[in-house]
Copies of this chain bind each other. A is one copy, B any other.
Amino acid sequence: MPQRKNIIEQAKEIFGAFLLKNGYRKTAERYSVIDELYAQDEHIDVDNLYLWMKNKEYSISRATIYNTLDLLVECGLAVKHQFNDRSALYEQALTYRHHDHLVCNICHKIKEFSDPRMEEIKNMIGTELKSQITSHSLVFYGDCTIDSCENK
């Protein structure tokens, strides 16, 4: 990932401006969450992010991670997903383009996709049901039909 560093720097600048604008403080913990969230290649939940950071000798608590992720979501630097009734998953959002997810019923691997028809459906349903639709969550669940899935 040659340009990931730049992305992280960019994210930190945006975050700094956001903190300033809202009178929040710039703490080392908050910036470290950006570093480590943006270091992930996959969606990650709070507990795994916490363990990951502990493992890297960071001194941070779960509470602070929760708090910081909320801030990151608020300023658009992170996206939160709730795929099932378990823990929420987060991913970086600076280079994010909206996509939806396909979750394998057996191995629970997550694949991403995007379909332009979703926008059309949103517009149409929004008009029909008199709602200004602000976001959506779409998850497909299915059985992999390829060998890379661990269900065979």
Contacts and interface: CB of A to CB of B under 8 A. Distances in A.
Tell me the number of copies of this protein. Answer: 2
Given A85-B82, A102-B125, A121-B118, A137 B137 contact: yes
A129 B145 CA distance: 9
A132 B140 CA distance: 10
Interface residues of A, number: 37
Contacts of A135: 140-142
Interface in A103-152: 104-105, 111, 113, 115, 117-118, 120-122, 124-126, 128-146
List the 6 closest pairs (A to B, CB-CB), nearest first: A133-B142, A131-B142, A132-B143, A130-B146, A138-B138, A136-B140
